[in-house]
């Protein structure tokens, strides 16, 4: 097999009868030079973004930023890429948050790996749409292979399992809840929600989540017509994981109230604490009640590849469905996420035939269509290609090594915070989040003190930390996702926090 590309001279500079007149902006072989120059100029701006940045944020205020964007007259076109890139640099790139810097320790935004960025070039240039084979060809099978690979990491039987790439964790969680609701209704009442809408009993459906689960569960329940009231928040233990004895109690309580438990969402890696709910115990309870178990592993999926920490996910193989966010934990550019289901037959609930895309008579074996599994997107990007590039160039071992490094670093950071009397750490983390606050014996309003620190850091742009509230109190939050961050970086960040903390109350 000849794996070489054809020499460029053979494929470039062809003259085509198709391109005449003012169509030089269309992506086409005749316009390749235009494409390459445009991309190269844009790459120069990427280079500037990287070389110029020594802090994660410029510190610009929203009001000023808004004014700069508003000034632009979109009806007045520009003449050159130079002008365009200057404009975009001015109103975007100069102020864009730099997730790749060790001083960015705020939200769940990972630095991205270079193979994925190379893949992104093909994703957007070729622009396959993953809904049907005739719009993606190899893309359909590559996506399917990555879904199977992910299912294998979960411990599923890949002959039985299936799934689809989605836009993000919230959408994958929506799929989990829809499957939970519809399968329950079908099995318990022989009622098909897709065709007939919600059954009468639906107003009494209840889904159990921990009080530290992601808010998308509430939003999803509300758009599914179950209302936020259907989500029962089970309190968490001292590590902020779902309390199993309370889960049992809450299920019983709901039953006594005449409500109907339909499933449990376990969180593998909570947004605020990075801890994993007790998956085995939750699986036992779901089995006992014969209800759906969905695992939101949007963040915790990182552990799947780690030999050292994989054991924390034991029990995930018993879940009916799982959310995976490669754009949080596999160093992928946004968007890259998946919904995986243990029993592919259950996915059929989502299938819809459109005469123009996947008509009923189309043989699925011969002409496959990923659209059959997608809940809200028809036209869908080939995001899977980025993960393909990543896995093939880095291998799962290197991804695992990045994850292990980040988790080990978090343990070191936790020790640094605990050993320093100026700080109070709320919990350790299975993954890489630490919630803590700065304390000063002479200050009683610790909320104001820590809000001040966060605000000062943000507008200086030197360090970006997140924050959250626990029991009404304001805390600072580190989310570590960058394997190049060192303990020295963390030491410097803590020193800066202290410096602002010491200044609190001295300004007029
Ligand atoms: C545990 C968890 N689940 C789901 C989500 C939502 O994911 P996305 O932002 O990709 O929609 C998040 C986002 O932070 C999360 O932390």
Share above pLDDT 90 across residues of the chain, in percent, rounded to a whole number: 87
pLDDT reading at 484 higher than 70: yes
Q: Are 213 and 233 in contact (CB under 8 A)?
A: yes
CATH of the domain at 296: 3.40.640.10
Nearest Cα to 101, choosing from 492, 377, 506, 371? 492
What is the spatial distance between Cα 407 and Cα 306, in angstroms, rounded to a whole number? 10
The number of domains in the chain is 1
Q: What is the pLDDT of residue 1?
A: 44
Domain with 214, as residue range(s), is: 157-378
Lowest mean per-residue pLDDT among 11-15, 118-122, 175-179: 11-15
Q: Which atom of ligand 1 is nearest to the CA of 107?
A: 14
What is the spatial distance between Cα 339 and Cα 137, in angstroms, rounded to a whole number? 21
With respect to residue 484, please indicate whether it lies within any of the assigned structural domains: no
The pocket around ligand 1, CB under 6 angstroms, is made up of 108, 168-170, 173, 214, 216, 267, 269, 271, 296, 298-299, 325, 337
With respect to residue 84, please indicate whether it lies within any of the assigned structural domains: no
Q: Are 464 and 390 in contact (CB under 8 A)?
A: no
With respect to residue 143, please indicate whether it lies within any of the assigned structural domains: no
With respect to residue 29, please indicate whether it lies within any of the assigned structural domains: no
pLDDT reading at 174 higher than 70: yes
**CA of 169 relative to ligand 1 center, distance in Å:** 5
pTM given for the model: 0.95
pLDDT reading at 155 higher than 80: yes
With respect to residue 14, please indicate whether it lies within any of the assigned structural domains: no
Q: What is the pLDDT of residue 66?
A: 98
With respect to residue 366, please indicate whether it lies within any of the assigned structural domains: yes
Which helix (DSSP H) or strand (DSSP E) does residue 205 occupy?
A: strand 205-210
Lowest mean per-residue pLDDT among 5-9, 54-58, 232-236, 464-468: 5-9
Q: What is the pLDDT of residue 365?
A: 67
Q: Span 465-471, mean pLDDT?
A: 97
Per-residue pLDDT tens digits for 71-112? 999 999 999 999 999 999 999 999 999 999 999 999 999 999
**CA of 507 relative to ligand 1 center, distance in Å:** 38
With respect to residue 229, please indicate whether it lies within any of the assigned structural domains: yes
281 vs 364, which has greater pLDDT?
281
Q: Are 172 and 150 in contact (CB under 8 A)?
A: no
- Of 106, 165, 214, the one to substitute when testing ligand 1's pocket (max ligand atoms within 8 A of C-beta) is 214
Mean pLDDT of the chain: 94
Measured in degrees and rounded to the nearest 5, phi and psi for residue 124 equal: -80, -35
**CA of 219 relative to ligand 1 center, distance in Å:** 12
Residue 436 binned pLDDT confidence (cut-offs 50, 70, 90): very high
With respect to residue 445, please indicate whether it lies within any of the assigned structural domains: no
């Amino acid at each position: 097999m000849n794996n070489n590309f054809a020499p460029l001279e053979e494929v470039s500079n062809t003259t085509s009868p198709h391109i005449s007149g003012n169509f030089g902006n269309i992506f086409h072989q005749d316009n390749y030079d235009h494409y390459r120059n445009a991309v190269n100029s844009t790459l120069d701006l990427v280079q500037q973004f990287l070389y110029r940045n020594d802090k994660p944020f410029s510190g610009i205020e929203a009001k000023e930023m808004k004014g700069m964007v508003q000034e632009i007259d979109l009806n007045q076109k520009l003449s050159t890429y130079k002008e365009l890139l200057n404009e975009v640099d001015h109103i975007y790139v100069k102020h864009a948050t730099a997730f790749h810097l060790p001083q960015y320790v705020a939200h769940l935004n990972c630095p991205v790996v270079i193979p994925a960025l190379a893949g992104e070039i093909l994703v957007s240039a070729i622009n396959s749409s993953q809904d049907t084979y005739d719009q993606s060809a190899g893309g359909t099978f590559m996506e399917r292979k990555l879904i199977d690979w992910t299912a294998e990491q979960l411990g599923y039987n890949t002959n039985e399992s299936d799934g689809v790439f989605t836009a993000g964790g919230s959408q994958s969680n929506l799929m989990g809840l829809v499957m939970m609701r519809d399968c329950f209704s079908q099995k318990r009442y022989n009622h098909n929600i897709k065709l007939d809408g919600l059954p009468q009993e639906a107003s009494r459906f209840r889904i159990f989540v921990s009080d530290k689960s992601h808010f998308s569960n509430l939003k999803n329940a509300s758009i599914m017509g179950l209302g936020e009231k259907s989500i029962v928040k089970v309190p968490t233990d001292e590590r902020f994981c779902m309390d199993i004895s309370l889960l049992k109690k809450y299920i019983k309580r709901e039953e006594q109230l005449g409500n109907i438990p339909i499933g449990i969402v376990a969180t593998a890696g909570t947004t605020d604490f990075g801890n994993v709910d007790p998956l085995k115990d939750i699986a036992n309870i779901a089995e006992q009640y014969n209800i759906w178990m969905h695992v939101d592993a949007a963040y915790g999926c990182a552990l799947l590849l780690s030999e050292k920490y994989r054991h924390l996910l034991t029990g995930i193989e018993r879940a009916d469905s799982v959310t995976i966010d490669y754009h949080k934990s596999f160093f992928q550019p946004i968007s890259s996420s998946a919904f995986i289901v243990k029993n592919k037959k259950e996915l059929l609930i989502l299938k819809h035939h459109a005469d123009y895309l996947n008509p009923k008579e189309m043989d699925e074996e011969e002409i496959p269509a990923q659209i059959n599994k997608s809940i809200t997107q028809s036209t869908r990007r080939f995001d899977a290609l980025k993960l393909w590039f990543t896995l093939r160039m880095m291998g799962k071992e290197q991804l695992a090594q990045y994850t292990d490094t980040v988790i080990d670093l978090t343990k070191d950071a936790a020790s640094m915070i605990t050993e320093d009397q100026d700080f109070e750490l709320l919990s350790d983390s299975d993954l890489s989040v630490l919630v803590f606050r700065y304390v000063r014996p002479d200050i009683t309003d610790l909320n104001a003190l820590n809000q001040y620190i966060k605000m000062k850091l943000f507008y200086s742009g030197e360090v970006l930390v997140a924050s959250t509230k626990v029991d009404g109190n304001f805390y600072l939050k580190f989310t570590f996702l960058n394997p190049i961050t060192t303990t020295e970086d963390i030491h410097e960040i803590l020193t800066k926090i202290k410096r602002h903390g010491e200044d609190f109350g001295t300004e007029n």
